Amino acid sequence: MSRIATRFAPSPTGRLHLGHACSAIRAHDFARRAGGGFLLRIEDIDGTRSREEHVAGIIEDLAWLGLAWDGAVARQSQRLALYDDALDRLRSVGLLYRCACTRADIAASLSAPHGPEGAPYPGTCRVRDIDPALPHCWRIDMAKAVAIAGPLDWHDATAGIVNADPLSHGDVVLARKDAPASYHLAVTVDDAAQGVTDVVRGDDLFASTHVHRLLQALLGLPTPRYHHHPLLTGPDGRRLAKRDGAPTLADLRGDGADGGAVADDLRAGRLPVGFGRQRA
């Protein structure tokens, strides 16, 4: 970990908005100030939602902002063997089990008197013999995994030393029914494989680091330093998100905004001039 390396890893399920831009700029600038590398990774493992036109859009948007990355663009869809190997290693020590529960099954279980709403997966399939022919995901037996790994921590730039508490997440999914790996597994394996030393991302992913730290320990992977930053919010105080219809960078570009000026505004901690006005 002698040379700093950061990454920006968007999913090509839509166009980038200002929240994405803010995170990309933070990761880019952190690396450049340290004379390090900035990597671009496309998290296109979700074949049902990922679109090639959005990959092209991401590259166009980052170039418009004036951000350049080092090396080739990595694609999760081209790294499936790495995820398979990690899953095989965890299966070989008895840490994974098949789960055939549907979302409705889980919701019904959590709404029962013994399962408060919002609780982690109750482990229904942990003691069931699931037919491999049934659609299923792979979950980690969190209690067993924590017992093997022992006490863990990580360093966050704002929070300092954080004691990992992966048990609070329950038996998370590591390979989905519709995808060969979950976010938790893929991001952990990818960051290690690419030599990422510093993970710069929004604080909405802070809690996920508990799970990532455990997987690093189980798979013998290095632990990067973490820099979780506040999420960018709009004039109404709400976070900018795709599902809430946040204006995209393509929208701003179409309105005549200058990418370099937008990036400078975000670096200064302010929204670009004119942001939030009514669009025709």
DSSP characters over 197-218: -EEEEEGGGTTHHHHHHHHHHH
- Specify the pLDDT at position 271: 85
- Token readout for 30 is 């952190």
* Residue 241: pLDDT band with limits 50, 70, 90: low
Q: Which residues contact 176 (CB under 8 A, 6 or more apart)?
A: 137, 182
Is position 129 within any domain? yes
- Given a contact cutoff of 8 angstroms between Cβ atoms, the answer to whether 207 and 214 are in contact is no
Strand 225-229 with 160-163, pairing = unpaired
pLDDT per residue as tens digits for the range 80-108: 999 999 999 999 999 999 999 988 878 77
Are both 261 and 174 inside the same structural domain?
Answer: no
Nearest residue to 42 via CA among 175, 186, 176, 204:
186
Q: Is 164 found in the same domain as 153?
A: yes
Q: CA-CA distance, 211 to 249, in Å (whole number)? A: 32
231 vs 276: CA distance, rounded Å = 17
Q: Please tell me whether residues 69 and 182 are part of one structural domain.
A: no
Report how far residue 14's alpha carbon sits from residue 72's, in angstroms, rounded to the nearest whole number: 21
Same domain, yes or no, for 35 and 150? no
Does residue 233 lie in a domain region? no
Q: Are residues 160 and 215 in the same domain?
A: yes
- Flag whether 236 is in a domain: no
Same structural domain, 143 and 277: no
Residues 185 and 95 in one domain: yes
- Specify if 37 maps to a domain: yes
Q: Which domain holds residue 137?
A: 79-195+204-222
The pTM (predicted TM-score) of the whole model is: 0.91
pLDDT on residue 116: 39
Find the range with the poorest average confidence among 12-21, 204-213, 242-251. Answer: 242-251
Give me the pLDDT at residue 269, please: 87
- Confirm whether 234 is domain-assigned: no
Return the DSSP state at 137: E
CATH number at residue 47: 3.40.50.620
Asked if residue 108 is part of any domain, the answer here is yes
Give the number of domains in the chain: 2
Asked if residue 100 belongs to a domain, the reply is yes
Residue 86 is assigned to a structural domain of this protein: yes
Same domain? For 83 and 218 the reply is yes
Residue 86 sits in the same domain as residue 145: yes
Strand order in the sheet with 74-75: 5-8, 37-42, 74-75
Task: Fill in the amino acid letter for 243.
Answer: R
> Within this chain, do residues 94 and 211 fall inside the same structural domain, yes or no?
yes
Residues 208 and 190 in one domain: yes
Q: What is 26-43 written as a DSSP string?
A: HHHHHHHHTT-EEEEEE-
Torsion region of 141: left, alpha or beta (phi above 0 gives left; psi -120 to 50 gives alpha): beta
Q: Are residues 86 and 152 in the same domain?
A: yes
